[in-house]
Amino acid sequence: MSAVDTDVVVIGGGAMGSAAAWQLAARGREVTLLERFEPGHRHGASHGASRNFNVAYAEPAHVAMLVESHLAWRELEAETGVPVLDQVGLVNHGGDGAIDDEVHAALASVGVPGEFLPAEEARRRWPGIRFETRVLHLPTAGRLHADAAVRALQQAAVARGANVRHRTPVRGIRVEGPDRVRIETDADTITARRVVVTVGGWTAKLLGGLVPLPPLVVTQEQPAHFALRAASAAGEDAAAWPGFNHRPGPGDDWWYSGVYGMLTPGEGVKAGWHGVGPIVDADLRDYAPEPVQFAALRRYAREWLPGVDSEVATPISCTYTTTPDQVFVLDSAGPITVGAGFSGHGFKFTPAVGRILADLVDDRPAPGVFSLRRFAAA
């Protein structure tokens, strides 16, 4: 076997790649993590101060990953001393609510608590949000600090022996054998036995022809932070603002999708449409909100978030990379392992995703729901 420079190269230093590097280094693997941008950059999908730790899932593989990720987020906090997860709770409401019964039953089966509340009780508890239907309250859900999480994952990976290199774009990958891959960067060439690719909106550009990827649609999403009203500013706490998922009802035909949101301390209440932004090339984004969708989001805030000022809004720009079924890909093709298509709902699962990617490098299969084969069959 030809000599290689390192055992595993992870390309992409956002949340998923950083978690994979952490997990691989913990197993004693020699790991180099390559990230094309500077620390804390705003060009992908892992930046910002808030993500919902949304536990409202019913599919067994996702529920198992939620339980695992909750424990692993706390492990990361203990290992690094960096606070990441704040369990402020989450409320689901709107629509016919049938999915909430499935979610409640699935979570109860693994010991995750939840309670149904009438709309009037929910309005009393959380006056910053308007409720008109039954509410599923999930008290152990919460809010993740995205920027802090990525920093902590990289800190933990380095402490376990990983080499993290920022400002190192990868220009090409060449498979030279079952245990040898050549990675070309602007600065040098690296050879490795295995490569993990977690580059979000750049996945198809980097892996085209190397891995049988499904169609991946990259969109520029544009949530916003809405300023708290003066009467609400003093209530910037867990009791006043849980995270929320709001499904449209029969009269909401002007909505673009369901709405998600949460309080971002110091920035206001974050709210956004889900996965309906304009399709973009990740290298050619304008970072500007699409004006019609932004106006509709402000209307949503005006009608459904009485605790915010809908006229004082700061747009945010990020990317979604979405698969045809909106379920992410975690799989390998030869010596290349890929994590992609997190479709705007992957961040909460980050530690479990890192573990699965490390398992794939160790030739252990991932759950079939995440495989590339499902698209070939379709």
pLDDT tens-digit readout, 303-312: 999 999 999 9
How far apart CA 99 and CA 351 sit, in angstroms, is 26
Overall average pLDDT of the 344-352 stretch: 96
Residue with tokens 């990525």, as numbered in its chain: 150
pLDDT average, residue stretch 194-221: 97
Name residues whose C-beta falls within 8 Å of residue 196's C-beta, 6 or more positions apart in sequence. Answer: 8, 9, 10, 11, 17, 20, 24, 337, 338, 339, 357, 360, 361
Residue 303 CB neighbour total at 10 angstroms:
11
pLDDT above 90 as % of the chain: 94
pLDDT of residue 1: 38
Which amino acid would we find at residue 194? R
Distance CA 168, CA 189 (A): 11
Q: What is the rounded distance in angstroms from the CA atom of residue 281 to the CA atom of residue 235?
A: 40
Task: Collect all residues with Cβ–Cβ distance below 8 Å to 291 and sequence separation of at least 6.
Answer: none
6-47+148-213+324-377: what CATH class? Answer: alpha beta
Of 190, 155, 198, the closest CA to residue 330 belongs to: 198
Q: Classify 61 as helix, strand or coil.
A: helix
Distance CA 110, CA 115 (A): 15
Say whether pLDDT at 47 is over 60.
yes
> Using CA atoms, how far apart are residues 264 and 227, in angstroms rounded to an integer?
10
Mean pLDDT, residues 78-82: 98
Q: How far apart are the first and last CA of the chain?
A: 38
Q: What is the pTM of this model?
A: 0.96
Q: What is the three-state SS of 147-192?
A: HHHHHHHHHHHHHCCCEEECCCCEEEEEEEECCEEEEEECCCEEEE
Query: Which amino acid is present at 130?
Result: R
Query: What pLDDT does 234 receive?
Result: 46
Q: Are 35 and 168 in contact (CB under 8 A)?
A: yes
| Whole-angstrom distance, CA of residue 68 vs CA of residue 71 | 5
Average pLDDT in the chain? 95
What is the average per-residue pLDDT within 309-333? 97
CATH of 90-139+218-322, one of 3.30.9.10, 1.20.272.10, 1.10.10.10, 3.40.50.300: 3.30.9.10
Task: Give the torsion through C-alpha atoms of 197, 150, 37, 196, to 10 deg.
Answer: -10
d(CA 117, CA 242): 14
Helix extents (H) in the chain: 15-26, 60-80, 98-108, 119-125, 146-159, 203-207, 230-233, 291-304, 350-361, 373-377
Contact 131, 121 (CB under 8 A): no
Model confidence at 338: pLDDT above 80: yes
User: What is the reported pLDDT for 336?
Assistant: 98
Reported as type and span, the H/E element at residue 3 is none
Domain ranges of the chain: 6-47+148-213+324-377, 90-139+218-322
Per-residue pLDDT tens over the stretch 217-254: 999 999 999 999 975 554 555 457 999 999 999 999 99
**pLDDT band at residue 3 using 50, 70 and 90 as cut-offs:** confident
Q: Does 185 score more than 80 pLDDT?
A: yes
Average the pLDDT over each of 42-56, 159-173, 238-252, 261-275 and give the range with the smallest value.
Answer: 238-252
Is there a contact between 20 and 357 (Cβ–Cβ < 8 Å)?
Answer: yes
pLDDT in tens, 105-146: 999 999 999 999 999 999 999 999 999 999 999 999 999 999
Report, as an integer, the average pLDDT of 309-326. 96
